[in-house]
């Protein structure tokens, strides 16, 4: 009992936040309590959640990845081009798309580690490059007319009675938690994030770990891009626009601190759920996506401020 | 509580030396449950230089941090000009006229000297709408610099001038800010003798103006030269205050150092193969032509003052600092160590000087800290950490090393200095290192823990590890070392001595001046 | 050991080096213009050069604000969103609500000031790092902008006198450029001779040293963000006048371009050094870059890619400069 209380209050207060918001919004709209409503929330969260897992590793180890949104875009464009014009079955195209994320991550990692620039500048540059390239290649037009089963596999299917996107999110989150808790890589992320110099002196291969975090983040961003492409049934350079902030918000809300080596994937899962909740309830209320952005920005600020004051009094 | 402070030019005969400007009574300071300062009484007179001496960990640093507002005393009172005050933060300390020279928060490197001297004090050159007359500031700063006989160009940027000159600028700035108490902590550690002279001339001028200085240094001969009275601290307690004329360096040394402990652990150790040998190790400007070696089961003690290059030496050996020339032989074979990973792979571990800065992961648990170097050896399946084994090993170390904690998931931030150090030692042990390098392992630790750590080092040696340890405290050095090398101020290393062959006084002398004392 | 004489010599060398660096940019701009001009002569036409200067004015006004903020060690990612918001609010108020244009402009300036205030408070009181704080305000303001305008352009009709602000000329100098030059001169004077300017250099150079010297660091940081917001809104007002409509996506990417202009001009991302003159040159260079790319026929997307690359390179240099 004591352990559970500790778990909630000290480590993941976001859980309380989540439950609180759920109740409040649920009272405003009873639909949210239904199975359908709940499923809706989770589906909305899934794409963000997948990226947020990768972002957690990056942020815990002291970095930041602003390129995820634009990586989604370029993956979307590339993948749909391959399917539509080269007639490659999406079974092969998916790995290619993921590979794109890996490459992007490696490039970012190399710049961070060897050129030694702040990650936000590098990933910012990557963001501009990738989004520009995406728009260039697609000539700003959606690439539509993708085969139906592409969409069906991802969005109209269930695995073990759970809708596919949610299932993928859950699987990736679990893998993320396992890696974080049980592998040396996961452990090293914390050590590097908390004190990079000490990690270096302890003999840890910092460069390898950091590059790996960006590779993971990139791969998952590409995966998210592919999933969204399937959902929209078209490749668009607009996919993922502005997503990086939402993903970072999910991670920060989940209790991960920036640049400190504190945080965990489980918290991120809850943070993602909060965001999914907000999205759904705002759209239920008939508000456009722009309200969601506003709401998100505001919640991010509130969360950080609360967090700043919390760490002062602990 | 406002008081107006005026900078008065006094004639020599008008200097009232006995007026007390700062008084501390019954000051106690605890860190967790370690008493860093025990019932300290101190008084500082107007126009005097009070030398503050004592070893690392004696409490000097804590004391001046309390005066300068960085720490708050747990009990006791502080009086300035006879008025009871509370110094809660550095800003308030400055408000009371206390300046700390030679810290990073004093000068803005990207501004020039005159701008720095008058930073925040430009009112005289400022017009009603806020514009600053730079020419006036420059002229006034020329005046000040001339008065203090500091020969610097006001338009030079602070980042372009030497450390020594930066110090002088800081002093000029404090004068402009009408500070009256100057705390100088090891001001000469990286100065040439000529620069030391310039500093001392300046200090004498400050005295004439009625300003007071607390001068902290390990270099006892310097303290004897510049201070009017000398305050000796040992293990957090006041040993005594002496007038300069009433004490000599021999007596001072005795008071500062502890007796060499009689109960020297005489374990007959057998020395094994040569573990490490370095030849002609040099790093431009820091140390040169260093040769040393250490064998299995042996403890090589190195001592030297701040600035002698001793830390840089071991950091170069370990691969943290890169540029160096010279050869390294490990277990007889020549090796390249270009980064810490190389050293760790060979089986070398390093306990850093500043454990909070680059040794510990403060916001992570004891468990994670202890296994930082060795997790990769506790794997099960493919790449998964065997958590049970990890926990077992950590508990074993905690037991062996007597680390006092109620749980291994406690964050290391909350441990005492001694326990933190033990965590780092546990980390080295678990990493199966065969050569362990310690840099000032007993800094900031209470007496009891110090002994434990020293005993630990001896035990590790008897288990077959080779150890290199850096000390400033000579008695510790003599207690654990099998052989001793001293690094001088010029960055050279002396030849080898066995503990019986040399006295602690000689060692101190050599650290300061490179020579033994001529009259014993 | 450094003697007094050699420091003086070093100082002189430093001055000369500085001179070269400052004019280095000018030289680069000239070379660039000539090269492109040879390739596509239309680039050098008066009309086109005027265009470049007009664009650089809009970018430049914003960049001046950014310069202050970056010198003090901060950053402001929300300036683009301020421009967009200001644009639609002016257009919306005057077209839909028939509010006199003068009041609209005042409201716009207030928006800029208010956004700067929010940023400043989040950073100095909320203790949020500038990057995150201004990222959040960027998102929020853009969101409000899009909500208000429904993501649609709002045309402004018939306000010729307002449009002159963006399209007219004074003494054959385009008005935006004129305003830019005046603001630059004021900024240069303030930066060099006013307490505010001196203190933000100090704060950017060493925050603690400034604090312990008795400077009200938080107050000056707050002021720099307010100025940044104000100038962003000014640029938005002029831009709106030029386009004669409220554009919800106005200012998109302006924060990147502005950071690039400021960094290219010699200001360091880490704070403590920088100059308005440099920013001026940087703004012109970036605008010339953009302009040349459309003349050559590169798509807008490639242009962004190019600017992204320039940004990264500019920042690399600015950091390396501060380190040495």
Is the pLDDT at A264 greater than 90? The verdict is no
Which residues have C-beta within 8 Å of that of residue A149, sequence separation ≥ 6? Answer: none
pLDDT at A8: 63
Which has the closest alpha carbon to B31: B236, B247, B198?
A: B236
For chain A, give the secondary structure using H, E and C. CHHHHHHHHHHCCHHHHHHHHHHHHHHHCHHHHCHHHHHHHHHHHHHHHHHHHHHHHHHHCCCCCCCHHHHHHHHHHHHHHHHHHCCCCHHHHHHHHHHHHHHHHHHHHHHHHHHCCCHHHHHHHHHHHHHHHHHHHHCCCCEECCCHHHHHHHHCCEECCEEHHHHHHHHHHHHHHHHHHHEHHHHHHHHHHHCHHHHHHCCCCHHHHHHHHHHHHHHHHHHHHHHHHHHHCEECCCCCCCHHHHHHHHHHHCCCCCCCCCCCHHHHHHHHHHHHHHHHHHHHCCCCHHHHHHHHHHHHHHHHHHHHHHHHHC
pLDDT at B10: 38
Chains with 3+ CB–CB pairs under 8 A to C are A, B
B177 with C213: Cβ contact below 8 A: yes
What is the share, in percent, of chain B residues with pLDDT greater than 90? 28
Give the model's pLDDT for residue B487.
Answer: 85
* CA angle, residues A287, A290, A293, in degrees to nearest 5: 110
> Domain for residue A8, yes or no?
no
Q: Are B202 and B233 in contact (CB under 8 A)?
A: no
- Give domain C41-323's CATH architecture: Orthogonal Bundle (1.10)
Q: Is the pLDDT of residue B267 over 70?
A: no
Residue of chain B with shortest Cα separation from A179: B384
Bridge partners of B487, per DSSP, are: B493
Q: CA-CA distance, A23 to C200, in Å (whole number)?
A: 47
Which segment of A143-152, A162-171, B270-279 scores lowest on mean pLDDT?
Answer: A143-152
- Distance between CA atoms of A45 and B460, rounded to whole angstroms? 54
A36 burial type by CB count under 10 A (0-12 exposed, 13-18 middle, 19+ buried): exposed
Closest chain B residue by Cα to residue A203: B341
Residue B254: Cβ within 10 Å count: 12
Among A199, A201, A259, the strongest candidate for a mutation testing the B interface, having the largest count of B CBs within 10 A, is: A201
> Per residue in B58-83, pLDDT tens?
788 889 889 988 889 999 999 999 89
Q: Give the chain A residue whose CA is nearest to the CA of C311.
A: A125
d(CA C269, CA C315): 7
Range in A218-222, C28-32, C192-196, C319-323 the model is least confident about? C319-323
Give the model confidence (pLDDT) of B391-414 as tens digits: 999 999 888 888 888 888 888 888
Single out the residue of C251, C247, C228, C253 nearest to residue C148, CA to CA.
Answer: C247
Q: Return the pLDDT at A24.
A: 73
Confidence check: pLDDT of C95 > 80? yes
The residue segments making up the domain with residue A147 are 15-22+35-313
Phi/psi at A171 (nearest 5 deg)? -60, -45
Residue A159 lies in a domain: yes
For A201-248, what is each residue's pLDDT tens digit? 999 999 999 999 999 999 999 999 998 888 888 888 888 877 887 888
Of B357, B363, B376, the CB nearest to A184: B376
Chain C CB contacts of B161 under 8 Å are 2, 7
Is the pLDDT assigned to residue A5 strictly greater than 80?
Answer: no
Structural domains of chain A, count: 1
Report, as an integer, the average pLDDT of C290-299: 74
Is it the case that residue A10 has pLDDT exceeding 70? no
Question: Do the domain assignments include residue A102?
Answer: yes
Question: Strand B379-380 vs strand B348-351: parallel, antiparallel, or unpaired?
Answer: unpaired
pLDDT digits (tens, 9 = 90+) for B337-373: 988 999 999 999 999 988 888 899 998 999 999 999 9
What is the arrangement of strands in the sheet containing B20-31, beginning at the earlier edge strand? B34-45, B20-31, B75-80, B83-85
Predicted confidence (pLDDT) at residue B274 exceeds the cutoff of 50:
yes
The answer on pLDDT for C118 being more than 80 is: yes
Residue B118: its H or E element = none
Confidence of residue B3 (pLDDT cuts 50, 70, 90): very low
Is residue A4 assigned to a domain?
Answer: no
Higher pLDDT, C101 or A291: C101
Mean pLDDT along residues B136-140: 91
Contact residues on chain C for B120, CB-CB shorter than 8 A: 210, 213-215
pLDDT on residue B503: 78
**Contact B190/C at CB under 8 A:** no
Subunits close to B (at least 3 CB pairs below 8 A): A, C
A306 touches chain C (CB under 8 A): no
CB nearest C8 (choices: B119, B120, B153) = B153
The rounded distance, in Å, linking the Cα atoms of B448 and C50 is: 78
Q: What is the arithmetic mean of pLDDT over C180-209?
A: 92
> CB-based contact (8 Å) between A115 and chain C?
yes
Question: What pLDDT, in 10s, does the model give residues A51-92?
Answer: 999 999 999 999 999 999 999 999 999 988 888 888 877 788
Is B161 in Cβ contact with C11 (below 8 Å)?
A: no
Query: In C194-253, which ranges are continuous DSSP H helix?
Result: 195-205, 207-212, 217-243
Using pLDDT thresholds of 50, 70 and 90, give the confidence band for residue B11.
Answer: very low
Q: Distance between CA atoms of B492 and C280, rounded to whole angstroms? A: 53
Alpha-carbon distance values, A74 to A55, A69, A150, A154 (Å): 18, 9, 18, 19
Contact B475, B504 (CB under 8 A): yes
Question: For residues B166 and B117, what is the distance between their CA atoms, to the nearest angstrom?
Answer: 11
Q: Using DSSP, state whether B230 is helix, strand or coil.
A: strand
- Closest CB to A194: pick one of B350, B352, B363: B363
Of A116-125, B41-50, B206-215, C145-154, the poorest mean pLDDT is in A116-125
Cβ of residue B347 closer than 8 Å to a chain A Cβ? no
Measured in angstroms, the CA of B109 and the nearest CA of chain C are apart by 6
Give per-residue pLDDT as tens, B230-247: 999 987 888 889 998 888
Q: Look at B384 and A190 and tell me if their CB atoms are within 8 Å.
A: no
The residue assigned the tokens 């074979």 is B333
The DSSP element (H or E) to which C307 belongs, if any, is helix C300-323
pLDDT at C119 over 80: yes
Q: How far apart are CA A135 and CA A233, in angstroms?
A: 18
CA gap A129, A126 in Å, rounded: 5
Asked if B108 and C208 come within 8 Å (Cβ–Cβ), the reply is: no
Q: Stretch B146-171: mean pLDDT, rounded?
A: 85
Q: How many CA atoms lie within 13 A of C315 on its CB side?
A: 25
Measure CB to CB from residue B162 to each of C2, C208, C213 and give the nearest one. Answer: C2
SS3 of B36, please?
strand
Among the partner residues C129, C308, C319, nearest to A117 by beta-carbon distance: C319
- The structure tokens 């090398």 sit at B485
Query: CA dihedral in degrees (B463, A198, B483, B261; nearest 10)?
Result: -80
Contacting A with CB below 8 Å, chain C residues are: 122, 126-129, 131-133, 135-140, 142-144, 146-147, 151, 253, 256, 269, 299-305, 307-309, 311-312, 315-316, 319
Whether B295 contacts B271, CB under 8 Å:
yes
- Which element (helix H / strand E) includes B330? strand B325-330
Mean pLDDT score across all residues of chain B: 83
Domain parsing of chain C, residue ranges: 41-323
The answer for residues whose C-beta is within 8 angstroms of residue C46's C-beta and 6 or more apart is none
Element (H, E) at C185: helix C175-193
Tokens of C160: 């010729």
**Cβ–Cβ under 8 Å, residues C224 and C272:** no
Q: What pLDDT is recorded for position A56?
A: 95
* Percent of chain A whose pLDDT exceeds 70: 89
How many whole angstroms separate alpha carbon A297 and alpha carbon A300?
Answer: 5
């Amino acid at each position: 009992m004591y352990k559970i209380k500790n778990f909630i209050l000290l480590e993941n207060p976001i859980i309380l936040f989540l439950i609180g918001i759920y109740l409040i919004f649920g009272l405003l709209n009873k639909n949210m309590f239904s199975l359908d409503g709940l499923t809706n929330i989770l589906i909305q969260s899934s794409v963000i959640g997948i990226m947020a897992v990768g972002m957690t590793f990056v942020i815990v180890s002291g970095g930041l990845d602003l390129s995820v949104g634009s990586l989604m875009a370029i993956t979307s464009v590339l993948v749909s081009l391959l399917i539509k014009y080269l007639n490659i079955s999406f079974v092969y195209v998916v790995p290619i798309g993921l590979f794109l994320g890996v490459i992007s991550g490696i490039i970012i990692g190399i710049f961070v580690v060897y050129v030694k620039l702040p990650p936000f500048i590098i990933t910012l540059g990557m963001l501009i490059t990738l989004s520009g390239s995406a728009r260039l290649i697609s000539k700003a037009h959606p690439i539509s007319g993708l085969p139906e089963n592409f969409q069906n596999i991802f969005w109209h299917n269930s695995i073990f009675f759970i809708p596919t996107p949610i299932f993928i999110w859950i699987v990736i989150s679990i893998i993320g938690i396992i890696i974080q808790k049980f592998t040396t890589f996961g452990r090293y992320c914390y050590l590097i994030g908390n004190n990079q110099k000490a990690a270096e002196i302890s003999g840890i291969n910092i460069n390898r770990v950091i590059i790996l975090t960006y590779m993971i983040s990139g791969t998952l961003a590409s995966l998210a891009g592919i999933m969204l492409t399937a959902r929209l049934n078209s490749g668009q350079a607009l996919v993922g626009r502005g997503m990086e902030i939402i993903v970072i918000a999910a991670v920060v809300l989940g209790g991960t601190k920036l640049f400190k080596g504190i945080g965990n994937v489980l918290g991120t899962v809850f943070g993602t759920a909060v965001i999914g909740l907000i999205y759904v309830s705002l759209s239920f209320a008939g508000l456009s996506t722009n309200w969601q952005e506003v709401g998100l920005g505001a919640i991010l600020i509130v969360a950080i401020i609360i967090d700043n004051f919390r760490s002062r009094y602990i | 509580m406002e008081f107006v402070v005026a900078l008065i030019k006094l004639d020599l005969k008008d200097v009232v030396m006995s007026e007390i400007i700062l008084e501390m009574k019954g000051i106690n300071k605890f860190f967790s449950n370690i008493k860093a300062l025990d019932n300290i009484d101190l008084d500082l007179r107007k126009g005097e230089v009070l030398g503050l001496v004592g070893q690392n960990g004696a409490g000097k640093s804590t004391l001046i941090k309390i005066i300068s507002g960085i720490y708050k005393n747990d009990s006791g009172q502080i009086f300035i000009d006879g008025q009871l005050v509370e110094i809660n933060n550095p800003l308030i300390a400055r408000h009371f006229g206390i300046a700390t020279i030679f810290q990073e928060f004093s000068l803005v490197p990207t501004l020039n000297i005159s701008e720095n001297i008058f930073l925040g004090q430009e009112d005289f050159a400022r017009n009603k709408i806020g514009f600053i007359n730079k020419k006036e500031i420059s002229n006034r700063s020329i005046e000040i610099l001339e008065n203090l006989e500091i020969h610097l160009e006001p338009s030079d940027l602070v980042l372009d001038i030497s450390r020594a000159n930066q110090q002088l600028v800081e002093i000029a700035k404090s004068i402009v800010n009408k500070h009256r108490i100057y705390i100088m902590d090891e001001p000469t550690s990286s100065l040439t003798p000529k620069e030391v002279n310039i500093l001392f001339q300046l200090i004498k001028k400050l005295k004439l103006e009625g300003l007071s200085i607390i001068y902290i240094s390990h270099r006892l001969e310097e303290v004897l030269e510049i201070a009017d009275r000398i305050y000796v601290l040992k293990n957090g307690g006041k040993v005594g205050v002496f007038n300069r004329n009433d004490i000599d360096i021999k007596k001072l040394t005795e008071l500062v150092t502890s007796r060499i402990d009689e109960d020297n652990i005489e374990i007959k150790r057998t020395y094994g193969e040569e573990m490490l040998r370095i030849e002609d190790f040099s790093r431009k400007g820091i140390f040169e032509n260093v040769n040393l070696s250490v064998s299995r089961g042996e403890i090589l003690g190195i001592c030297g003052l701040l600035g002698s290059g001793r830390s840089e030496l071991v950091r170069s050996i370990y691969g943290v600092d890169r540029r160096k020339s010279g050869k390294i032989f490990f277990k007889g074979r020549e090796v390249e160590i270009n980064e810490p990973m190389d050293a760790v792979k060979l089986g070398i571990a390093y306990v850093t000087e500043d454990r909070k800065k680059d040794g510990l992961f403060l916001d992570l648990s004891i468990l994670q800290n202890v296994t930082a170097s060795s997790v990769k050896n506790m794997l099960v399946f493919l790449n998964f950490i065997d958590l049970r084994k990890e926990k077992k090993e950590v508990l074993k170390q905690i037991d062996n090393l007597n680390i006092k904690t109620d749980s291994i998931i406690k964050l290391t931030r909350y441990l005492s200095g001694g326990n933190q150090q033990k965590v780092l030692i546990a980390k080295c042990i678990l990493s199966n290192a065969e050569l362990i390098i310690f840099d000032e392992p007993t800094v900031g630790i209470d007496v009891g823990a110090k002994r434990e750590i020293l005993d630990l080092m001896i035990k590790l040696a008897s288990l077959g590890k080779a150890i290199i340890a850096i000390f400033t405290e000579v008695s510790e050095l003599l207690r654990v070392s099998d052989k001793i090398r001293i690094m001088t101020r010029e960055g050279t290393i002396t030849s080898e001595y066995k503990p019986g062959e040399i006295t602690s006084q000689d060692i101190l002398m050599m650290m300061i001046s490179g020579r033994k004392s001529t009259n014993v | 050991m450094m003697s007094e004489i050699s420091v003086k010599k070093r100082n002189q060398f430093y001055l000369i080096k500085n001179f070269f660096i400052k004019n280095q940019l000018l030289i680069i701009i000239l070379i660039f213009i000539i090269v492109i001009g040879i390739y596509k002569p239309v680039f050098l036409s008066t009309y086109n050069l005027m265009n470049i200067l007009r664009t650089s004015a809009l970018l430049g006004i914003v960049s001046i604000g950014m310069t202050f903020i970056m010198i003090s060690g901060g950053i402001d990612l929300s300036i683009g969103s301020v421009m967009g918001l200001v644009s639609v609010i002016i257009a919306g108020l005057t077209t839909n609500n028939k509010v006199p244009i003068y009041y609209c402009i005042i409201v716009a300036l207030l928006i800029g000031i208010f956004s700067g205030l929010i940023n400043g408070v989040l950073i100095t009181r909320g203790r949020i790092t500038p990057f995150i704080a201004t990222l959040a305000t960027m998102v929020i303001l853009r969101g409000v902008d899009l909500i208000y305008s429904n993501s649609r352009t709002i045309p402004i009709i018939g306000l010729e006198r307002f449009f002159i602000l963006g399209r007219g000329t004074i003494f054959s100098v385009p008005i935006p450029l004129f305003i830019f030059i005046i603001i630059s001169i004021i900024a240069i004077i303030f930066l060099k001779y006013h307490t505010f300017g001196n203190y933000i250099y100090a704060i950017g150079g060493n925050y603690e040293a400034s604090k312990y010297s008795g400077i009200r660091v938080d107050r000056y940081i707050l002021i720099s963000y307010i100025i940044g917001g104000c100038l962003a809104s000014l640029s938005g007002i002029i831009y709106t006048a030029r386009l004669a409509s409220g554009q919800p996506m106005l200012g998109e990417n302006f924060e990147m371009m502005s950071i690039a202009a400021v960094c290219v001009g010699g200001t360091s991302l880490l704070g403590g050094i920088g100059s308005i003159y440099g920013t001026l040159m940087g703004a012109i260079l970036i605008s010339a870059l953009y302009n040349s790319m459309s003349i050559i026929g590169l798509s807008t997307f490639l242009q962004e890619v190019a600017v992204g690359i320039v940004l990264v390179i500019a920042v690399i240099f600015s950091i390396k400069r501060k380190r040495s």
